[in-house]
Structure 1
Amino acid sequence: MTVLQGSLLDLADGIEVRPLGDTVRRRTLGDGAWVDERTAWVGGADELYAALRRDVPWYAERRQMYDSIVDVPRLLSFYGEDDPLPHLALEDCRDALSAHYATELGEPFVTAGLCLYRDGRDSVAWHGDRIGRSREQDTMVAILSVGAPRDLLLRPRDGGASVRVPAGHGDLVVMGGSCQRTWDHCVPKTSRPVGPRISIQFRVRGVR
């Protein structure tokens, strides 16, 4: 089992959800899509990673791929609208995101999907979160990363150059506007030796 190397730069005393406000940097992608980035949003990310790795009921999933049934290359867990989240810090994150984006989004974040990338062989293929009303409506997906850094790649759905968004330990990435409809995103496999990573994806009602 690959073990996470703790960060020497994360000096928070316990888990700390830091302010958003003007610390968020927006990158315009085109076609009405954008990405917000806030590095080191959650302090004490080592502690949060350890708690989630230990307490979340991770499960493996298998899916149809052409003529075969294949293993999904990551472990998963999902918390619906009425489910208590596995750590109080995630509730603080969800509330902070709902407050920060209230004017643009017009509704709160209510669900959380968690992915555990055990090493560089785990990945998620190109896709957009287009299950539900995000197929036709603008929405937001907010991703908190804890663990080893992995890049999130985005590319226009109709073709074009990809954009690389670093997702480090305690970092926040928010995909908004038309991003789910007009762009795809992925976490590619890597042959580099990387440790495990957990991503927490906060979404609004009716979006997967």
Structure 2
Amino acid sequence: MHAVQGLQGSLFDQGDEIRLGPLGGLRRTVLGAGAWVDHLPGWLAGADLLFERLAADVPWRAEKRQMYEREVQVPRLLSFYGEGAALPHPVLVEAREALGRHYAPELGEPFVTAGLCLYRDGRDSVAWHGDRTGRSSTEDTMVAIVSVGDPRDLVLRPRDGGATLLRLPLGHGDLVVMGGSCQRTMEHAVPKSARAVGPRISVQFRPRGVR
């Protein structure tokens, strides 16, 4: 397991108060086939401080997964907070509740779980996939992601392959929400980076029965 590099702080986020901004600045990109993505840069102020707290306080674990004939290390550290579990920082509770209120007319149910990923450097990544375990394999749903730490690209493309439709550098308190048919009809990934990048943590909020 490679060590976590130091975080290069954002010049625009040097405050010592961790707080959420308004959601009025969300901008939606329609990808087609019923899929869309909302994006709001810098929703969370004090994101570098939150990164430090989460990096230190979350019970991170390394996982291995079966790939064909061999077991391989998952290239990132993980932690998962199920429904009813206490989240590792109060602002994550506030974020989940604020997102639930904002998207209630479209989603019709609350966000209840939080999955966290720690990308230690540019070698950590997520391959192309959709969050299709559970109801999201057959129903429209939403996955909301708050990112802290150094930005890493989130890329989206159609599930059957083809050109990348959207590329968003996410970090330092940015919010992205994948909605509609996005998990069924699109794939997303966080590619490896050849550039020297510092660590990033993503927090994924999901409704019940979606993984």
| TM-score where L is the length of structure 2 | 0.96
Query: For residues 161 and 14 of structure 2, what CA distance do their matches in structure 1 show?
Result: 42
Indicate the residue corresponding to 1:17 in structure 2.
Answer: 20
Structure 1 gaps of 5+ residues are none
Indicate the residue corresponding to 1:48 in structure 2.
Answer: 50
Query: For residues 186 and 45 of structure 2, what CA distance do their matches in structure 1 show?
Result: 30
Is the contact between residue 16 and residue 49 of structure 2 (CA under 8 Å) also seen in structure 1? Answer: no
Indicate the residue corresponding to 1:33 in structure 2.
Answer: 35
Query: For residues 14 and 161 of structure 2, what CA distance do their matches in structure 1 show?
Result: 42
Indicate the residue corresponding to 2:152 in structure 1.
Answer: 150
Indicate the residue corresponding to 2:63 in structure 1.
Answer: 61
Q: Which of these residues, 159, 163, 181, is aligned with residue 161 of structure 1?
A: 163
Q: How far 1:159 moved relative to its partner?
A: 2.2
Query: For residues 56 and 6 of structure 1, what CA distance do their matches in structure 2 show?
Result: 20
Query: For residues 158 and 54 of structure 1, what CA distance do their matches in structure 2 show?
Result: 39
Indicate the residue corresponding to 1:117 in structure 2.
Answer: 119
Query: For residues 48 and 168 of structure 1, what CA distance do their matches in structure 2 show?
Result: 12
Indicate the residue corresponding to 1:127 in structure 2.
Answer: 129
Which deviations, in whole Å up to 9, do the C-alpha atoms of 1:147-204 show, x marking residues without a partner? 0000001010022211212212100000000000000000000111000000000000
Indicate the residue corresponding to 2:87 in structure 1.
Answer: 85
Query: For residues 38 and 84 of structure 2, what CA distance do their matches in structure 1 show?
Result: 27
Answering whether residue 194 of structure 2 is matched by residue 187 of structure 1, we say: no
- One-letter amino acid of the counterpart of residue 119, structure 1: D
Q: Which of these residues, 171, 175, 195, is aligned with residue 172 of structure 1?
A: 175
Percent identity, aligned pairs only, is 69
Which runs of structure 1 show a deviation greater than 2 angstroms over 4 or more consecutive aligned residues?
none
- One-letter amino acid of the counterpart of residue 144, structure 2: A
Please say which of residues 65-74 and 12-21 is displaced more in the overlay. Answer: 12-21
Query: For residues 156 and 63 of structure 1, what CA distance do their matches in structure 2 show?
Result: 25
Q: How far 1:12 moved relative to its partner?
A: 3.7
Query: How many pairs does the alignment contain?
Result: 207
Structure 2 gaps of 5+ residues are none
Structure 2 SS opposite 1:101: helix
